[in-house]
């Protein structure tokens, strides 16, 4: 019985590691990962995007912007759908831009209208994410895809 438990735990670890591996259409072109709907996954999402950007050859400022963007968008996804899986997809659009998209299934919560994307009062605990992302990205879009919300930020890639 103990061996079965250990084997089961090993399989669970392997499944978790496999689920975090990127799906690539071409080397270094796309990162696509699903994360459990828990705040503890934010660090992994940031780290995965940083690693992808490093592999791409992005400079430090671009990597930091990308990490902050994915952190803000993933936090919004977690707040909108606590406990539900979210997806991070980073793709190189062309030689000059990359897109960072976070998708989550929502139970009705929608991002505010674009005219409300502003920096909240400093004492507010929420309400800054989309304003921060907008200040860091060249373009931000929000799409509703059959109950999934997809927020995409495009950033310029000043490569060394």
Using pLDDT thresholds of 50, 70 and 90, give the confidence band for residue 159.
Answer: low
pTM confidence score: 0.72
Q: pLDDT of 102-147, one tens digit each?
A: 999 876 666 655 555 455 555 544 556 788 888 899 999 988 877 7
Mean predicted confidence (pLDDT) in 47-69: 94
Q: Which residues contact 158 (CB under 8 A, 6 or more apart)?
A: 58, 59, 61, 62
Mean predicted confidence (pLDDT) in 20-40: 71
Higher pLDDT, 146 or 84: 84
* pLDDT, position 101: 96
Q: pLDDT of 7-19, one tens digit each?
A: 333 334 334 443 4
pLDDT surpassing 70 at residue 51:
yes
For domain 23-156, the question of CATH label 3.90.70.10 is answered with no
Q: pLDDT of 19-29, one tens digit each?
A: 444 443 343 57
CA atoms within 13 A on the CB side of 140: 21
């Amino acid at each position: 019985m103990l061996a079965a438990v250990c084997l089961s735990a090993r399989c669970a670890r392997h499944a978790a590691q496999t689920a975090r591996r990127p799906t690539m259409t071409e080397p270094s072109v796309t990162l696509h990962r699903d994360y459990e709907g828990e705040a503890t996954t934010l660090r992994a999402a940031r780290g995965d995007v940083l690693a992808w950007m490093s592999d791409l050859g992005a400079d430090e400022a671009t990597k930091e912007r990308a990490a902050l963007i994915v952190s803000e968008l993933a936090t919004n996804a977690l707040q909108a759908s606590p406990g539900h899986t979210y997806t991070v997809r980073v793709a190189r659009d062309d030689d000059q831009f990359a897109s960072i998209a976070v998708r989550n299934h929502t139970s009705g919560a929608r991002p505010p209208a674009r005219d409300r994307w502003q920096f909240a009062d400093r004492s507010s605990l929420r309400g800054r994410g989309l304003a921060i992302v907008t200040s860091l990205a060249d373009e931000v879009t929000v799409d509703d895809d059959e109950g999934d919300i997809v927020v995409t930020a495009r950033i310029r890639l000043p490569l060394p």
